[in-house]
Structure 1
Amino acid sequence: MAVVAGRLARWLLRLRGGGSAVPGRVALAIAPAFLERAVSRLPLGVVFVSGSNGKSTTTNMLTAILREHGLEVFTNPSGGNLPQGIASALLADVPLDGYVRGDVGVIEVDEAYGVDLATLLKPRGSLLLNVQIDQLNRFFEPTRVVGMLRSIAETSSEFVVVNADDDSLARVGADLAAAGRDVSTFAVAPSLIESAPNGLANVEDLTGVAAGALPVPSVFVSALELQSAQLTIGGEHVRIGLPARGLHYAVDAAGATA
């Protein structure tokens, strides 16, 4: 019933030239357990992608990588990262029995809703990108975001991937690694950071993360050109194209690869 009602709502909205998360809201109103039921039969489980910025780009990159490896992936490609948006994305794929088909789910999640979604969907792993001072009208202070992302990581059952260059996430990763959790990291190569006239190389490290506490990055951004970058993965160099100019796109690609 929830699938039928949600699809009917989507069809009516499209007739009027709209879209939005209304179909997902309808499905969740009828069947509050729609989300967890829909992904419960994915054999490889669900991976969450979250952070202040770069979620949609990284989600699309990770999805593309997994599909190139022959996996059938469910994702929420349009950036609908709230519960109703994810439900709307599921309505496009799920059969009438309510179970999405495929091997794995790669789901972009909003930081504020990530904790509740992690409790519901029980992610196998999480990829955490960054914590930036934005949306202060919503979160008030960055430490709240750090706490949200930490909770997502702690709820992930098998692995966590964090940005080693982000001071806050480095602390989260170090704490989880010290507790015996499977933690992987990605970063920008020191030589590339130091070549920039401003930025990370000029910031004093006040994190208190002990040397060696965080696993060595498995993927580095080692070179950057206009719309391409070089990733170093286990000592091997791989040249990749980027969707647009900017180091942040290369960092997103490193996260998706890690």
Structure 2
Amino acid sequence: MTDYLKIEDKFTYAEAGEGPTIIVLHGLMGTLSNFEDTFNHFSKNGYNVVIPELPLYSLPLLKTNVKNLANFLQEFMEYKKIDNAILLGNSLGGHIALYFTKHYQERVTALVLTGSSGLYEKAMGDSFPKRGSYEYIEEKTKSVFYDPAVGTKEMVDDIFKIVNDRSSVIRTLAIAKSAIRHNMANDLPEMNMPACIIWGKQDAVTPPEVAHDFHKLLPNSDLFWIDKCGHAAMMERPEEFNSILHNWLKDRNL
């Protein structure tokens, strides 16, 4: 995916493919590579896929919150001259997509949520490793997945670096508190665009009941389950995730 990485103005992003635009939003401890299989699949099957690197650790501390991350998405779309897009978000990325949709509904063709925060207050904070030994960070990282082997050493190393950097930790906590403040329950019934909810049955971060609540509150939504799967379905079960989403987009003529 590094072959498709671009750095322009203040934005770093990956982009490939032609067709309707899918903007992918990664989570708090996530990276662009979390969506590599999804990026490759849809960019080769009729979509323009764009994954911006979110400024989670580079915004001024007082601006490190869900609102300003949604503002960043708006600025990115303006910069790229993207009038409307399908928004696909995991964890915090889903929350940013929802907050953006609340304010710019006309620019969102469809929503795709997987393990999204926005309803469940423990999704942000409790799930993310605090400073500690490498073994502790490794255990917490692997617990996000149904299959612990998905939590690679490289991933553990990256998270260990983040949680042992004071500036990053402060911003992580700021985002977590912001996410709790910006509960989306009252806003979801007003979001009338098609919504695809893809959830791991064994998600321990945003449990299955969270997916049911999203499905109940989003008026035009479909809910799909992936078994033997944790919080990041697009990483843990990429072929099944891509198949579900691909068929859903076709059924919805998106």
Q: Give me the TM-score of the superposition, normalised by structure 1.
A: 0.41
Larger Rg: 1
